[in-house]
Structure 1
Amino acid sequence: MTLPTRPPQRKPQGRHPQNALSPAFVRNVSEAGRYCDGNGLYLDVRPTGSRGWIQRITIRGRRTELGLGGYPLVSLKEAREKAFANRKVAREGGDPLADRRRTESMPSFEETAQRVWKQLRPGWRSTRHAHVWLNSLERHVLPRIGEMPVSEVTSADVIGILAPMWHEKAATARKLRQRMRAVMEWAVAMGLRPDNPCDRIGPVLGAQADRTQHLAALPHGEVASAIETVRASNGRAAVKLAFEFLVLTATRSNEVRGAVWTEIDLAEGVWTIPARRTKGNREHRVPLSGRALEILEETRRLGRGGPIIFPGVRGAPLGRTAIWHLLKVARIEAVPHGFRSSFRDWAAEETDHPREVAEAALAHKVRNQVEAAYRRTDLFERRRRLMTDWVVYLTERTSKP
């Protein structure tokens, strides 16, 4: 018995349909089925009467179907345009299906900024910096582009945000640009966009003519008088002692306010600030002069037995603005950090101590990489002599009539 053979499958003869459907047909057809418009585009009419667009397409050698949306939300003309765009992408080796999935799941700029903030936050030692970083975007950027997909933000959008403040608030504008650039750089790294719109905008915005504003500081010859003024003021004892300790040690305000007794070696006269509390993220040993040790004894008598050396009202560390406010009330034209500058000017102008000793006293990093690689000492004993000379200088000026 001879079995019948199936005829070989062949492509349909004749020309393929091209724009076979009309708007009137699409609007009125009711019989369920698929109706070919040409180039792989079909109108899918369901038994319920609803209609939608289907495109048959080969993507990287694999035949698949893409849904292009329902009618009448997507018209015949729009369906043809979508189908043509998909064929063009597929012909060039792309994947329109993957592109669409990526677009549908694309995070907004705000969502991306939140992800970047959470990613960077563990590396920041300052909680205030973390707050300011995000708050600046919420204030100046998110109202403009927060809801936009991060892939759609353009250089024009960035310029529109920065241009009004680029010259009026130069420092704020620069920081905003850095933070927006960090968000966009993350998007580039994650494959969400091909470029960073924060680049190449400098020539459009123009050069900033602002000058660096240094923190207010006193000439070193007026520091002793400032200490006397603070001592005679009505400020809280703990704040006044913290200020004088800050001046004598040439340290930063946050380092003094956060100091705890376990960091102090009274017998050796050393205050060891752990790396996590320093700006340079390196342990810093501070030699304590005789007057600095006296201040510690005074604050111990004032203390409540807690771990904080200079406690606030409820035993917590002093507030960030406590010393600043003390200086303002006392009408001293300087900020806490400015007294480091006063100390540095004194060391350069009034002493023969080497520059590297003064820089080490301020816990500044060695800029020269070769020098930093070979320097294995913190010059502690030489710094002790420097800090002793600083206290002697202040004491002598205080005792002058």
Structure 2
Amino acid sequence: MPRIAKQLSAIAVKSIQGPGLHPVGGAPGLHLQITPSGARSWVARLTVGTRTNAAGKTVQHRRDFGLGSFLDVGLAEAREKALRLRKLVAENIDPLAEKAAARAQAASERAAAITVTGAVTQFVEDMKGKWVKDPKGVSKRLAMLRTYITPVIGNLSVKDVEASHIVKVLRPVWESSPATAERLGSLLRNTFDWAKAHKYRIDNPAATEILSKLLPELSKGGKHPSLPYAVLPAFMVDLRARQGTSARALEATILSALRSGESLGAEWPEVNFKDRVWTVPGSRMKIKGEDHRVPLGDELLALLQQLHDGRTSKWIFPGADGDKPLSDGAMLELLKEMNPLDATGRRVVTHGFRATFSTWTSEATDHPAEVREMALAHKIKNQTEAAYRRGDLLEKRRLLMVDWGAFCIQ
């Protein structure tokens, strides 16, 4: 049992100077701790059983228990706390172990209360400040959550998720859309790192070193499987025979050679039917800040006119409730159903049709490469050329898009 020092008065304790642990009495092991900076706090130094030291000998195990700062806890209260701790130790209860167990129990209860959907949502909310240069950073991640994660493991508690659950989410897109799989895997991995930081769990089931043992290596040969242009007209016949917004959105995306994020967010004021131009605002383009004009060939113009005549929303391609645009996942689901394959047998993804357009332009037409690149809204890599380029080659691109539409729909 620790020796009880001479009981000092509050005035005597207040007058103690110099860094170190100063016994103040009134309770076993009670000390006033003064740091070199002058900060003062209460410490109870108690013996809690025994331990084996480096020499292999059994010695008393002494621990220091913080009781609060000198400014917040008075001398009498510090003595009461020290006495309560001493009573616990006498009953062979380790106060620190009890506290750690309580924290672990509380963390387990918090983890049980938060679902995967809730964790991803909160992670995105906490991290959105990091994506200020990517205005769609939040919406893209929440779209992945809705499309791929929530339907599979969204209702699971974070603490119950295993690597097999992560694989179940990733496998449908692992080979068919490596780029999507990479982004989805990153979102899951970062979410579970966030969960670890919040003590919801102690490991990360989506860690790269774990998934590398359960899934094949992501394809390096072309991130976006694309349809050979020779079979595109037959694919378009099948696509145009299908009903629904997803089919019309995919048709328009192919005919415009836009990225899916650029076409799906479209609103009707962007389309000028008289001038036959669809202007995608710079805020939705990959190269932010630069509007992109899409000249409308006959086929795309007719499609947009048909949709405009039956419009029910401000969105050209509205989602199910009409309040939001269609998600990229809807077109991906359609492609899963249609199952078009690239030259290596991989399922084609939406973005791959831009590669189809590029290959067709290069191999089957005489349209210049710079017209093709401008139609794809690619950044000019040559800085000198970029500095002197003033126009967007609209009329030359109009000829290209007329030929593309006629090729797609024969």
Q: With the length of structure 2 as denominator, give the TM-score of the two structures.
A: 0.59
Map 1:24-103 → 2, pairs under 5 A = 27-32=3-8, 40-45=19-24, 51-55=30-34, 57=36, 64-67=38-41, 69-72=43-46
Aligned to 1:107: none
Q: Is 1:315 the equivalent of 2:322?
A: yes
Name structure 2 gaps, 5 residues minimum: 49-59, 65-118, 145-182, 342-347
Partner of 2:115: none
AA aligned to 1:296 is L
- What is the CA-CA distance between 1:375 and the residue it aligns to? 1.9
Distance 1:312 1:213, change over 3 A: same
- The answer on whether the counterparts of 1:53 and 1:67 sit within 8 Å (CA) in structure 2 is yes
Secondary structure at the counterpart of residue 251 of structure 1: coil
Task: Tell me whether 1:125 sits opposite 2:135 in the alignment.
Answer: yes
SS at match of 1:242: helix
Could you report, residue by residue, the CA deviation over 1:104-134 in whole angstroms, capped at 9, with x for unpaired residues?
Answer: xxxxxx9xx7897142143333234444689
Q: For 1:392 and 1:285, locate their aligned partners in 2 and report how far apart those are by CA, in whole Å.
A: 20
1:20-62 residue CA offsets vs partner (Å, 9 max, x unmatched): xxxx8x6232422679x998424241557772242363x5xxx
Q: Give the equivalent residue in structure 2 for 1:273.
A: 280
What SS class does the counterpart of residue 314 from structure 1 fall into?
coil
Distance 1:71 1:327 in 2: 69
1:164 to 210, 219, 223: 210
Contact 1:247/1:339, CA 8 A, preserved across alignment: yes
Cα distance, 1:378–1:119 mapped onto 2, change above 3 Å: same
Deviations 1:303-322 (A, max 9, x none): 23x32223344334223322
Please say if residues 121 and 130 of structure 1, whose CA atoms lie closer than 8 Å, have aligned partners that are also in contact: no
Equivalent position to 1:349, from 357, 360, 363: 363
Contact 2:124/2:141 (8 A) holds in 1: no
> Using the alignment, how far apart are the partners of 1:76 and 1:250 within structure 2?
72
Query: Cα offset for 1:348?
Result: 0.8
Residue in 2 that maps onto 1:303: 311
The verdict on how the C-alpha distance between 1:144 and 1:378 changes in structure 2, with shifts beyond 3 A counting, is same
Alpha-carbon offset, residue 367 of structure 1: 2.2
Tell me, in whole angstroms, the C-alpha distance in 1 between the residues paired with 2:276 and 2:326: 23
Identity over aligned residues, as a percent?
28
- Change in 2 beyond 3 A, CA 1:360/1:68: farther
Q: Which has the larger radius of gyration?
A: 1
Matched with 2:188 is: 136
Aligned pair partner of 2:235 in 214, 220, 226: 226
**Structure 1 unmatched ranges of 5 or more:** 1-23, 80-109, 149-156, 172-208
Equivalent residue for 2:302? 294
1:277 shift after superposition: 1.2
Asked if the contact 2:5–2:23 (Cα under 8 Å) also holds between the matched residues in 1, the reply is: no
Of 260, 264, 279, the residue aligned with 1:253 is: 260
2:389 maps to what in 1? 375
* Separation in structure 1 between the aligned mates of residue 257 and residue 19 of structure 2, nearest angstrom: 77
Give the conservation status (yes or no) of the 8 Å contact 2:4–2:25: no
Match of 1:326 in 2: 334
Q: What is the SS of the residue equivalent to 1:54? A: strand
What TM-score does the superposition give when structure 1 sets the normalisation length? 0.60
Distance 1:280 1:51 in 2: 66
Q: Which moved more, 1:381-390 or 1:342-351?
A: 381-390
Q: Which amino acid aligns with 1:364?
A: H
Deviation at 1:323, TM superposition (A): 2.4
Q: Distance in 1 between matches of 2:211 and 2:307?
A: 46
CA distance 1:65–1:258, shift in 2 (3 Å): closer
- The alpha carbon displacement at 1:253 in A equals 1.9
User: Which amino acid in 2 is paired with 1:284?
Assistant: H
State the one-letter code of the partner of 1:141: D
Distance 2:396 2:47 in 1: 80
Task: Please report the RMSD computed on the Cα atoms of aligned residues, expressed in angstroms.
Answer: 4.1
For 2:276 and 2:190, how far apart are their aligned partners in 1?
47
Deviations 1:302-358 (A, max 9, x none): 223x32223344334223322222333233332222111110000111122221211
CA gap of 1:329–1:44, structure 2 versus 1, over 3 A, is: same
For the 8 Å contact 2:229–2:357, the answer to whether it is kept is yes
**Of 336-345 and 45-54, the range deviating more from structure 2:** 45-54
> Cα offset for 1:300?
2.0
Give me the whole-angstrom Cα distance separating, in 1, the residues matched to 2:62 and 2:32: 11
Taking structure 1 as reference, are residues 374 and 167 closer, same or farther at Cα in structure 2, changes over 3 Å only? farther
**The residue matched to 2:307 in structure 1 has which SS?**
helix
